[in-house]
Amino acid sequence: MIDQNLLLVLVLLPFLAAIATATLPVHAHNAAAWVSGLFLAGCLLVLAALHQTVADGGVLVRTIRWVPALRMNLSFRLDGFTWLFVTLVTAIGVLIVIYARYYLSKSDPVPRFYSFLMAFTGAMIGMLLSGNILVQVVFWELTSIISFLLIGYWYQSPAARDGARMALIVTATGGLCLLAAMLLLGQIVGSYDLDRVLASGDIIRAHPLYPVVLGLFLLGAFTKSAQFPFHFWLPGAMAAPTPVSAYLHSATMVKAGVFLLVRYFPALGGTEAWFFAVTGTGMATLIVGATIALFRHDLKGLLAYSTISHLGLITALAGIGSQGAILAAIFHIANHAVFKASLFMAAGIIDHETGTRDMRRLSGLYRFMPLTGTLAIVASAAMAGVPLLNGFLSKEMFFAEAADWHNGTWLDNSLPYLATFASVFAVAYSLRFIMTVFFGPPPEDLPKEPHEPSPWMRRPVELLVMVCLVVGILPGVTLGPALNDAARAVLGADMPYQNIAIWHGFNTPLIMSLVAMALGTALYLGFAGRISTGPEGPPVLHRLRAQRVYEWLLLRLSWSWPRRLHRAFSTDQLQPQLRLLVALTLVLGGAVLWGAMAPSDNPRTNALNPAFALMWLVGAGCAIGAAWQAKYHRFAALISLGGAGVVTCLTFAWFSAPDLAVTQLLVEIVTTALLLLGLRWLPRRREEIAEDKLLPARLRRIRDLVVAGIGGACIAALAYVMMTRPLVPNVGDWFLRNSYYEGGGTNVVNVILVDFRAYDTFGEITVLAIVGLTVFALLRRFRPASESVDQPEQRRAEAQDGLRDYMLVPAVIMRWMFPVMIVLAAYLFVRGHDLPGGGFSAGVTMAIAFLLQYIAANVRWVEARITVLPIRWMGFGLLIAGLTGIGSWLFDYPFLTAHARYVDLPLIGRIPAATAMIFDLGVFALVVGATVLMLIAIAHQSLRSARLREQDAEPEQKEAA
Amino acid sequence: MELVLSMAIGVLAASGIWLLLRPRTFQVIVGLALLSYAVNLFIFSMGRLTVGAPPLMPKGGFVNPTAYADPLPQSLVLTAIVISFATTALFLVVMIASRGVTGTDHVDGKERET
């Protein structure tokens, strides 16, 4: 079990490192490097501890149930193959961290770089270790997203932004295809468990959907591994800092695609379609990449295309899929990671110390940096496949597979020739890299004087080059066992042990190598001059670029077409949109309800009370009055609105809804106060707007009137039909029966709110808190219109005296009401569980108590005497409600389970004391906080504009003085 | 009673919709308030209209649910009242902020082009 949990540690450590480094100061270069390095070293220790288990052929699995309904478990598994891969990723990660410490300049923000790098490592390890294919896609997309952030690290540069975006679009689109493929795979196999999927190869290959799954899967893998024709994002990603390129394009990001190809070979591979699609694409990529690499002038560009071509090689091997080919693919994954990381680092050193990466300007650097030069020469020899280096071995194995393995198709027959052809170019571009940069005449007018880098910047390169040599000379002792473990983990335990040796005799692969080396050297020597004066790409072909297609498509999809659609179907104006919305609702509602709207034969009615009808006569008058006056007489409209509100409130009271009546009345008060406060900031409108009398405006009004009339009539009809329908038993009856026995309260409405449906209420108060904060935030930056800054007429000095006189008595009353209101709020709150009241109405009452003080006196007077901290009220309210909910976990009940009982208090008597009351207390505090926050925020604007006035006045006074 | 109430709902809704389609922010805010009354009453009336029997239960004993008002629409409407207050406040603030920024109280932030 400890081993299994170590797997979780392995995945978590890099993410923890990401969090740790994200919190460091901006310039803490050393600290960030140490933290990241140590966390990754921790990963390496874990891997070392787990090695024996996987070397014995064991598979470690740790599963945590995550979303069982989707059959999605957070499952991690480690076998020989993933062990090798994760070790590679982590080890090179440590070296990258050391290198980056010396590569980044002092002005580059540190936490961002290291935290992204660590998060990327974590995502990559998670992807490799996932034992559930859906989780694997999640981590897969995570690598795409974080690589976007890493490539765009220097976001000030347009090239970095474009490169990052291109990488994200291409790889994330592929990731979506992969998700579709995985979902289909899961459906075919009946499980998303990786082991089950890998074991069901026969079912998958025989399934009619196999070609679809294969196509989607390969799109995912090919886009990630930059296979032709999706290769173009990789050179664009070279705008990243070199440590990032060295990491992404050696051991991690692009290797994820080939990892997937090798991993899923048992499930999807072995068919003719697989061979043609994978080997065909791989060979095309190998050749295209190698050819273009020779013609690039940018050091990193050359390495980027070389990376593409080597990925093609691995892909081709995965397509062949024989035992030897899989072994060779895994071997080349490791070898390429090692020599390409060192080459990228060397290119970064050259760039860092000379200021340029252009091979046409670089020359003769060997005399300035002999050590770096030697390292780069050895590493590029490995890239070219020179004997005694690791690149040679896996390349030989590739040649052997290309020449020996046969299924008789034309592609298979041409494999040896294609492989040799690509290899010629590989030798030529490696040679070009070395010859132009390190040999020849001394460089002229470089941006910087070249010299050796600081020793620690070179250490990672030294180590990697040493690995190239050691693996190249002693392959059987060093990497052989781990490789065989890895290949067995992919292909099954019955695979015989394959010995990796340097010398196999004078055989076909060796002849192919020798031919390639001879021809490659000749190619370079023959055309060196013409290549360096030519364009950035092979003759003729450099005009054809996949990136152009991508850019053309992107422009259409993200700019031109949406704009055209927007022009055709949309408007910036609110009114037509709202009109459309209302009309659409009417049409759709009509379509659904047509025919079902017949009134019932035996309508259920209450006898009409004339008082009720009279009351609504007033109410309807108020509503129409509000609609009539809202444009020119806002105050009158507001009063009419209040009238309609009061009638609504009375209706609630009439039909046995005391809770609603209380709440509606209180909220009505607050709303009116709020709107009154807002009136001050609107433009005055006394005289008619001239255009309103013209015909178009009249027509508009008539049209809207018709829409509104139809809407009102439909709603009225619907309401009537629904109200007169016969009763059916509904869920409300259950609440009535059980509120006392289950919820311990007799006021069913309150019990529903704080007990049965407390979770809904919790969501609702959260919304209230968000609205309160939004109001507060919006008003912090509020700038009133210039004409509203002046003090309103009524408050100028001459009017002020009169105002003070007739506000005197109400002000005193309001002040004295304060304690009374608080007691009322407490009363409403405590009785809430059994009688009308509760947290909502108590909260609004409390808010009104505060509000009255603001009305009675001016803001400064009040705030000198009471301190209300609305945000704290809200925070504590939400906390209390949430903690009450969590509290029920302690007793093993679901979130927000309530417990009810009664408590005897001296003098007061028996009062309900349910835990739901504590929740209600949270509701109360939050409602107080949010309401007061909104009201005060708006009320304070007058203060601020007073301050603005004072500021304006000051300079004038100075001028006058 | 049902007829009166449904007509009342209709009038409130019609006034609300009419104001919703007007060009001035204050009209829209009043319209939304009226519309929220209409909707609240509508939801409330979807239970049963009961006079003089609020959903306050006796402590113990048999309960005949049909003798009381339906509590569920009531609790729905109770939260709706508070939320509609919050949205009114939010809209009011957006309204005065937009007025400060654009200098007009037209819903589009600029006067109609003629």
pLDDT in tens, A419-443: 999 999 999 999 999 988 888 888 8
HSE on the CB side for A463, CA within 13 Å? Answer: 15
pLDDT at A172: 92
Taking CB atoms and an 8 Å limit, are A609 and B69 in contact across chains? no
Q: Does B42 touch chain A (CB under 8 A)?
A: yes
Which of the pair, A792 or A197, is modelled with greater confidence? A197
Compute how many other C-beta atoms are within 10 angstroms of the C-beta atom of residue A452. Answer: 15
Q: Which helix (H) or strand (E) holds A377?
A: helix A370-384
Using a CB-CB distance cutoff of 8 angstroms, which residues of chain B are in contact with residue A711? Answer: 13-14, 17
C-alpha to C-alpha distance for A565 and A674, rounded to whole angstroms = 41
Compute how many other C-beta atoms are within 10 angstroms of the C-beta atom of residue A933. Answer: 25
Query: Which of A584, A604, A617, A659 should be substituted to probe chain B, the one whose Cβ sees the most B Cβ atoms within 10 Å?
Result: A659
Taking CB atoms and an 8 Å limit, are B15 and A624 in contact across chains? yes
- DSSP codes joined into one string, A591-618: HHHTTTTPPPSS---PPPPHHHHHHHHH
Q: What is the mean pLDDT of residues A619-646?
A: 91
Report the residue count for chain B. 114
Q: List strand residue ranges (DSSP E) for A415-535, in order.
A: none
pLDDT at A37: 94
Using a CB-CB distance cutoff of 8 angstroms, which residues of chain B are in contact with residue A783? Answer: 100-101
Banded model confidence at residue A797, pLDDT cuts 50, 70, 90: low
pLDDT at A960: 58
Measured in angstroms, the CA of B30 and the nearest CA of chain A are apart by 7
C-alpha to C-alpha distance for B83 and B87, rounded to whole angstroms = 6
Q: What is the mean pLDDT of residues A264-269?
A: 91
Report the residue count for chain A. 961
Compute how many other C-beta atoms are within 10 angstroms of the C-beta atom of residue A332. Answer: 23
Residue A807 burial by Cβ neighbours in a 10 Å radius (0-12, 13-18, 19+): middle
Q: Would you say A162 and A236 are in contact if contact means Cβ atoms under 8 Å apart? A: yes
Q: What is the mean pLDDT of residues A203-231?
A: 92
- Token readout for A498 is 């394959």
Which among A237, A242, A105, A108 is positioned nearest to A171, based on CA atoms?
A237
Q: Which of A607, A663, A785 sits opposite B81 (nearest CB)?
A: A663
pLDDT at A955: 62
Compute how many other C-beta atoms are within 10 angstroms of the C-beta atom of residue A514. Answer: 12
Q: Residue A244: is its pLDDT beyond 90?
A: yes
Q: Would you say A278 and A218 are in contact if contact means Cβ atoms under 8 Å apart? A: yes
Which of the pair, A284 or A681, is modelled with greater confidence? A284
pLDDT at A831: 85
Q: List strand residue ranges (DSSP E) for A347-427, in order.
A: none
C-alpha to C-alpha distance for A396 and A400, rounded to whole angstroms = 6
Which of the pair, A452 or A15, is modelled with greater confidence? A15
Task: Specify the 3-state DSSP secondary structure of B4.
Answer: helix
Q: Residue A686: is its pLDDT beyond 70?
A: no
Task: Specify the 3-state DSSP secondary structure of A689.
Answer: coil
Q: What is the mean pLDDT of residues A892-919?
A: 74
- Token readout for A582 is 């209302």
Could you tell me which chain B residue has the CA closest to the CA of A577? B21
pLDDT at A450: 84
- Token readout for A123 is 């995502």
Q: Does B66 touch chain A (CB under 8 A)?
A: yes
Q: Does B93 touch chain A (CB under 8 A)?
A: yes
Query: Residue type at A474?
Result: L
C-alpha to C-alpha distance for A816 and A821, rounded to whole angstroms = 9
Query: Residue type at A657?
Result: A
Size of interface A-B (CB pairs under 8 A): 325
Q: A243: which strand partners?
A: none
Give percent of chain A above pLDDT 90: 43
Which among A268, A315, A259 is positioned nearest to A489, based on CA atoms?
A259
Q: Residue A843: is its pLDDT beyond 90?
A: yes
Gyration radius (Cα) of chain A, Å: 38
Which of the pair, A713 or A900, is modelled with greater confidence? A713
Residue A866 burial by Cβ neighbours in a 10 Å radius (0-12, 13-18, 19+): exposed
Which among A838, A859, A794 is positioned nearest to A927, based on CA atoms?
A838
Using a CB-CB distance cutoff of 8 angstroms, which residues of chain A are in contact with residue B68? Answer: 656, 736, 748
Q: What is the mean pLDDT of residues A892-908?
A: 72
Q: Which of B18, B69, B96 sits opposite A678 (nearest CB)?
A: B96
Q: Would you say A899 and A742 are in contact if contact means Cβ atoms under 8 Å apart? A: no
Q: Would you say A181 and A213 are in contact if contact means Cβ atoms under 8 Å apart? A: yes
Residue A546 burial by Cβ neighbours in a 10 Å radius (0-12, 13-18, 19+): middle
Q: A62: which strand partners?
A: A76
pLDDT at A954: 67
Taking CB atoms and an 8 Å limit, are A724 and B2 in contact across chains? yes
Measured in angstroms, the CA of B36 and the nearest CA of chain A are apart by 10
Which among A11, A62, A61 is positioned nearest to A40, based on CA atoms?
A11
Taking CB atoms and an 8 Å limit, are B52 and A736 in contact across chains? no
pLDDT at A681: 82
Taking CB atoms and an 8 Å limit, are A727 and B48 in contact across chains? yes
Q: What is the mean pLDDT of residues A102-123?
A: 91
Q: Does B106 touch chain A (CB under 8 A)?
A: no
Q: What is the mean pLDDT of residues A298-323?
A: 91
pLDDT at A540: 63
pLDDT at A509: 85
Using a CB-CB distance cutoff of 8 angstroms, which residues of chain A are in contact with residue B45? Answer: 719, 722-723
Could you tell me which chain B residue has the CA closest to the CA of A727? B48
Mean pLDDT of chain A: 87
Using a CB-CB distance cutoff of 8 angstroms, which residues of chain A are in contact with residue B89? Answer: 674, 771, 775, 934
Helices (H) and strands (E) in chain A — how many of each? 40, 4
- DSSP codes joined into one string, A252-313: SHHHHHHHHHHHTHHHH-SSHHHIIIIIHHHHHHHHHHHHHHHH--BHHHHHHHHHHHHHHH
Taking CB atoms and an 8 Å limit, are A674 and B88 in contact across chains? yes
Q: A905: which strand partners?
A: A909
Least confident of A527-541, A823-837, B22-36: A527-541
Q: Residue A25: is its pLDDT beyond 60?
A: yes
Q: Which of B7, B52, B71 sits opposite A748 (nearest CB)?
A: B71
Which of the pair, A509 or A126, is modelled with greater confidence? A126
Least confident of A560-564, A588-592, A688-692: A688-692
What is the DSSP secondary structure assignment for residue A77, as one 8-state letter?
E
- Token readout for B38 is 């209409």
Query: Which of B29, B37, B44, B84 should be substituted to probe chain A, the one whose Cβ sees the most A Cβ atoms within 10 Å?
Result: B37
Instruction: Identify the residue whose tokens are 């005897």.
Output: A904
Using a CB-CB distance cutoff of 8 angstroms, which residues of chain A are in contact with residue B77? Answer: 657, 660
Which among A717, A688, A698, A595 is positioned nearest to B14, based on CA atoms?
A717
Q: Residue A961: is its pLDDT beyond 60?
A: no
Q: What is the mean pLDDT of residues A874-884?
A: 90
ipTM computed for the complex: 0.95
Q: What is the mean pLDDT of residues A843-859?
A: 87
C-alpha to C-alpha distance for A794 and A247, rounded to whole angstroms = 71
C-alpha to C-alpha distance for A177 and A183, rounded to whole angstroms = 10
Using a CB-CB distance cutoff of 8 angstroms, which residues of chain B are in contact with residue A848? Answer: none
Taking CB atoms and an 8 Å limit, are A623 and B34 in contact across chains? yes
Q: What is the pLDDT of residues A907-916, one digit of tens each?
A: 767 666 677 8
Q: Would you say A916 and A751 are in contact if contact means Cβ atoms under 8 Å apart? A: yes
Q: Which of A579, A606, A627 sits opposite B15 (nearest CB)?
A: A627
C-alpha to C-alpha distance for A293 and A427, rounded to whole angstroms = 11
C-alpha to C-alpha distance for A448 and A108, rounded to whole angstroms = 20
User: Which residues are within 8 A (CB) of A824 and not within 5 positions of it... i.e. 6 or more apart?
Assistant: A845
C-alpha to C-alpha distance for A262 and A256, rounded to whole angstroms = 10
Q: Which of B94, B99, B108 sits opposite A778 (nearest CB)?
A: B94
Using a CB-CB distance cutoff of 8 angstroms, which residues of chain B are in contact with residue A747? Answer: 55-56
C-alpha to C-alpha distance for A292 and A844, rounded to whole angstroms = 73
Taking CB atoms and an 8 Å limit, are B8 and A616 in contact across chains? yes
Query: Which of A571, A606, A639, A655 should be substituted to probe chain B, the one whose Cβ sees the most B Cβ atoms within 10 Å?
Result: A655
CA distances from A834 to A734, A750, A839, A911, B54 (A): 17, 8, 12, 9, 12
Using a CB-CB distance cutoff of 8 angstroms, which residues of chain A are in contact with residue B24? Answer: 630-631
Measured in angstroms, the CA of B79 and the nearest CA of chain A are apart by 7
Using a CB-CB distance cutoff of 8 angstroms, which residues of chain B are in contact with residue A649? Answer: none
**C-alpha torsion A667→A673→A679→A681, nearest 10:** -110
Q: Which of A716, A736, A774 sits opposite B68 (nearest CB)?
A: A736
Q: A358: which strand partners?
A: A298
Q: Which of B14, B24, B49 sits opposite A711 (nearest CB)?
A: B14
Q: Would you say A164 and A152 are in contact if contact means Cβ atoms under 8 Å apart? A: yes
Q: Would you say A382 and A370 are in contact if contact means Cβ atoms under 8 Å apart? A: no
Q: What is the pLDDT of residues A640-676, one digit of tens each?
A: 999 999 999 999 999 989 999 999 999 999 999 888 8
Phi, psi values for residue A811, rounded to 5°: -65, -45
Q: Residue A64: is its pLDDT beyond 60?
A: yes
* Residues of chain B scoring pLDDT < 50: none
Could you tell me which chain A residue has the CA closest to the CA of B16? A627
Using a CB-CB distance cutoff of 8 angstroms, which residues of chain A are in contact with residue B8? Answer: 616, 619-620, 647, 651
Measured in angstroms, the CA of B11 and the nearest CA of chain A are apart by 6
- Token readout for A453 is 């880098």
Phi, psi values for residue A534, rounded to 5°: -80, 180
Which of the pair, A496 or A425, is modelled with greater confidence? A425
Q: Does B43 touch chain A (CB under 8 A)?
A: no
Which of the pair, A840 or A571, is modelled with greater confidence? A840
Taking CB atoms and an 8 Å limit, are A836 and B54 in contact across chains? yes
What is the DSSP secondary structure assignment for residue A496, as one 8-state letter?
P
Taking CB atoms and an 8 Å limit, are A678 and B92 in contact across chains? yes
Q: Which helix (H) or strand (E) holds A862?
A: helix A859-865
Taking CB atoms and an 8 Å limit, are A627 and B101 in contact across chains? no
HSE on the CB side for A198, CA within 13 Å? Answer: 18
Banded model confidence at residue A930, pLDDT cuts 50, 70, 90: very high
pLDDT at A38: 94
Please give the angle made by the CA atoms of A816, A667 and A715, to the nearest 5 degrees.
Answer: 155
Banded model confidence at residue A449, pLDDT cuts 50, 70, 90: confident
User: Which residues are within 8 A (CB) of A522 and not within 5 positions of it... i.e. 6 or more apart?
Assistant: none
Taking CB atoms and an 8 Å limit, are B42 and A717 in contact across chains? no
Measured in angstroms, the CA of B71 and the nearest CA of chain A are apart by 5
Q: What is the mean pLDDT of residues A556-582?
A: 87
pLDDT at A801: 67
Q: Which helix (H) or strand (E) holds A75?
A: strand A72-78
Banded model confidence at residue A120, pLDDT cuts 50, 70, 90: very high
Which among B54, B37, B29, B79 is positioned nearest to A655, based on CA atoms?
B54
Q: Does B33 touch chain A (CB under 8 A)?
A: yes
Taking CB atoms and an 8 Å limit, are A663 and B82 in contact across chains? yes
Q: Which of B26, B38, B85 sits opposite A671 (nearest CB)?
A: B85
pLDDT at A137: 94
